[in-house]
Amino acid sequence: MKSVVEQKVLALNGDEAVAYAVKQCDVDVVAAYPITPQTIIVERFSEYVANGEVETAFVCTESEHSALTACLAASLTGARTFTASASAGLALMHEMLFVTSGCRAPVVMAIANRALSAPINIHGDQSDTMAQRDSGWIQIYAENAQEVYDSVIQAFRIAEHPEVLLPAMVCLDGFQLSHSVENVNVLPDETVKKFVGIRQFPKVLTHEGKYAPLRLDPENPMTLGPLAFPNYYFEFKRQQEEAMKKALEVIRQVHDEYAQISGRSYGDGLLDPYFLEDAEIATVCVGSTAGTVKTVVDELRAEGVKAGLLRIRAFRPLPVESIRKALENVKAIAVMDKSMSFGGHGGAVFHEVRHALYDSGERPFVVNYIYGLGGRDTSPMQIQAIYKDLQKIVEKNRVETPIRYVGLRE
């Protein structure tokens, strides 16, 4: 696929790629609180504000809870809003994550994935966002800084789509992506501005008995965030589930439209398969680890091993049917989790991939590898060992240890 516009190549780390994308997206309000490894995002963005390169209102808050509250309020007035966080900061936002999705405020947030305390650790794993997977936010995980840049731009379009209207997280692995400099192709400002467009508002019936655009406006008063008793609360939650279903389609559409302009695509926008078509053994992962896995798959393919990879790009909404179709003909699958669900028999990604495969006729063997917690490196050799394990499972036609830990000392 070819790009229809001329693009600049900049040396950016993942955090800077986020800030650059946000700068181009005509954002009205950014409210944030610094936390490693996300700090560079808002630091760089505050420089754009100070230099007069953007017209964004930049709000320094006293905590992440307040940062997201400010974003929510701004978003409800119709403003395009952005924030960024990680780890303990995201955990402190927990309450407001649900309020934001429940109020259907399309806030976009970048998360530089980091481990949760205790013990305290500033390095990368996905415990923070996986713990928020039921908060009603769209979650897109990027593989590299280029995809981080592209995903932030797409996220505004997805979140603000009148039939979706849900907040969205773009997740980038802490340090591996947030602090590693790569060559990033950036689109011209005008192209991005045109692509994201102006926020559209669906009309809702208000207490005045008329239909008005969904935003706080003195001309059309409306009550947002009211009390809902047991007779109505449930119905609003069902609406959010419907919006997630709609998001599956919109993520794909926005991804395809963006690919036409930029020349870059990531599978179908939801799933990014690599040599999966005829694969007998495969891994499933989320985020930057896919880069390492692809190198290993290349080596194995050169040796004639039918190895493949499925990278899940959209974890919420989860493309369950596509996952099933992509994996049901594979004989043995290793699902990689960069977080733990203590006492839950494996990690979150494992649970969901196995759940997706329950309805397939040929249920493949599915095992779980927990890796990289607290920023521990995962080497190509360790990934090779995972594929060797899968070959053994296929040979023996049984699984001995369903849940394993990569690089953990006994």
Partner 1 sequence: MTSQEKGWKEISIAAVCWKPNTEFLTGDWKTYKPVRDLEKCTRCLLCAIFCPDGAIRWKADKGDIEFDYNYCKGCGVCANECPVKAIEMKLE
Q: Which residues bind partner 1 (CB under 8 A)?
A: 102-104, 165, 202, 204-207, 209, 214, 222-226, 228, 231-232, 234-236, 238-239, 242-243
Q: Which is nearer to partner 1, 238 or 388 (CB)?
A: 238
Q: Which is nearer to partner 1, 225 or 344 (CB)?
A: 225
CB of 72 to partner 1, least distance (A): 11
In angstroms, the Cα distances linking 27 to 42, 102, 142, 153, 245 are 13, 22, 21, 11, 26
Q: Which is nearer to partner 1, 224 or 399 (CB)?
A: 224
Helices (H), ranges, 62-188: 64-76, 87-92, 94-102, 127-130, 145-160
In angstroms, the Cα distances linking 76 to 64, 81, 132, 253, 383 are 18, 10, 22, 25, 45
Angle at 343 between CA 341 and CA 347, to 5 degrees: 30
Q: Which is nearer to partner 1, 5 or 228 (CB)?
A: 228
CA 162 to chain CA centroid, Å, is 20
Q: Which is nearer to partner 1, 104 or 338 (CB)?
A: 104
Angle at 156 between CA 152 and CA 158, to 5 degrees: 105
Please, are residues 286 and 349 in contact by the beta-carbon 8 Å criterion?
yes
Please, are residues 110 and 41 in contact by the beta-carbon 8 Å criterion?
yes
Q: Tell me how crowded residue 11 is: count the other CB atoms within 10 A of its CB.
A: 10
Q: Which is nearer to partner 1, 242 or 400 (CB)?
A: 242
Q: Is the peptide bond before 118 cis (omega within 30 degrees of 0)?
A: yes
Q: Which is nearer to partner 1, 215 or 324 (CB)?
A: 215
CB of 136 to partner 1, least distance (A): 12
Please, are residues 186 and 6 in contact by the beta-carbon 8 Å criterion?
no
Q: Which is nearer to partner 1, 243 or 314 (CB)?
A: 243
CB of 234 to partner 1, least distance (A): 8
CB of 231 to partner 1, least distance (A): 6
Report how far residue 70's alpha carbon sits from residue 66's, in angstroms, rounded to the nearest whole number. 6
Three-state DSSP state, 165: coil
Please, are residues 345 and 338 in contact by the beta-carbon 8 Å criterion?
no
Cα Rg, the chain, nearest whole Å: 21
Q: Which is nearer to partner 1, 93 or 164 (CB)?
A: 164
CB of 212 to partner 1, least distance (A): 9
CB of 352 to partner 1, least distance (A): 25
Q: What are phi and psi of 352, to 5 degrees?
A: -80, -35
- Residues near 385 by Cβ (< 8 Å), separated by ≥ 6? none
CB of 286 to partner 1, least distance (A): 29
Report how far residue 204's alpha carbon sits from residue 216's, in angstroms, rounded to the nearest whole number. 12
CB of 83 to partner 1, least distance (A): 19
Q: Which is nearer to partner 1, 225 or 402 (CB)?
A: 225
CB of 101 to partner 1, least distance (A): 10
Report how far residue 65's alpha carbon sits from residue 222's, in angstroms, rounded to the nearest whole number. 25
CB of 135 to partner 1, least distance (A): 16
